[in-house]
Amino acid sequence: MSPPEAPAGIRSIRPVSLALLLITATYLGFLSGFPDGFGPVLAAAGVVLATGLRVATRRSVAVYAPVPVLAALVVEAVPAPVGLGTEIVAGLAGLAFLLWLADDPSRPVGGSLRSLPTVGVPALAVGIAWSSTLFLPAGAVPLGVAGALLAFTLAVVALLVGSPTVFDREEA
């Protein structure tokens, strides 16, 4: 019934999604162009602080665990120079962040696997956006694809925030 008991610390940290987040965030920090290796250090510090908040404190404090990671990712992404590698790493870091969120130690193990259908949608969007910048010729077409994606995203988000019941299905 219960998953096999592992040492509490290791089980709580959920190492796979943590490693994924650490690698992508640190690499984004490396590409962000901060001098003296400040970027990777900032990313690693954010991830470590968030993990500490999650596993070592009370539940009321643990809900703030995503904030340091998110702040570190934002600080790295904003000054990052334009480049295909930087863009896809930023997208992957965002996806890794979602997987890390799904591996909440207060919930049953396997959260990242169960979240794959949810994470799949933004992953598809990131993939389309990146491939459009990579494969399509420069000019109006990639701009159109990116613009359509953004417009669609913003419209759906606005609709959802305004009325979450749009996803409700009437009972037969």
Partner 1 sequence: MSDASSRPLQWRPLAPLLLSTGAALLLVAVLTRNPTPLFLALPLLLAPVAAGIVGPRSAPPVRIDLAIEGAAADVQVRGTVVPEPGLDARNFVVELERPASLVGASAPRLDYSSSEVRFRATWTAPEPTITEIPVPEVLWRDPIGIVEREAVSSASPVVVSRYPPELLRIGSVRLERTTPLPGETRSRRVGESGEFHGIRPARPEDPPRQINWRATARAGRPLANEYDLDKTGDLLILLDARPTSLGPTVDERLFSVARAAAVGLSDSFLRVKSRVGVGVFGEFLDVVPLSTGRTQRIRIEMALKQAHLSTVSAPAERCAVSARRHFPPGLTTVVFSSLSDDSSEDLSPYLRRRGFPAIVLSPSPLPLIEAVSRLTGEDEEIARRISRLVRRDRIARAWQEAPTIDWDDFWSLGKFVEFVRRPRVRRA
Q: Which helix (H) or strand (E) holds 75?
A: helix 66-77
Q: Where are the beta strands (DSSP E) in the chain?
A: none
Q: Compute and round to an integer the Cα radius of gyration of the chain.
A: 18
**Single-letter amino acid code for the residue at 2:** S
Query: Is residue 77 involved in binding partner 1 (CB under 8 A)?
Result: yes
| Alpha-carbon span 61 to 70, nearest angstrom | 16
User: Could you say which of 45, 134, 148, 157 contacts partner 1 (CB under 8 A)?
Assistant: 157
Amino acid occupying residue 35: P
Angstrom distance (rounded) from CA 109 to CA 2: 10
Of 141 and 160, nearer to partner 1 (C-beta) is 160
145 forms part of the interface with partner 1 (CB under 8 A): no
Which of 29, 39, 68, 91: binder of partner 1 (CB under 8 A)?
Answer: 91
| Residue among 45, 56, 74, 151 that touches partner 1 (CB under 8 A) | 74
- Residues 2-31 interacting with partner 1 (rule: CB under 8 A): 2-3
Which x/- pattern, by CB under 8 A, does the window 34-73 give for partner 1? -----------------------------x--xx--x--x
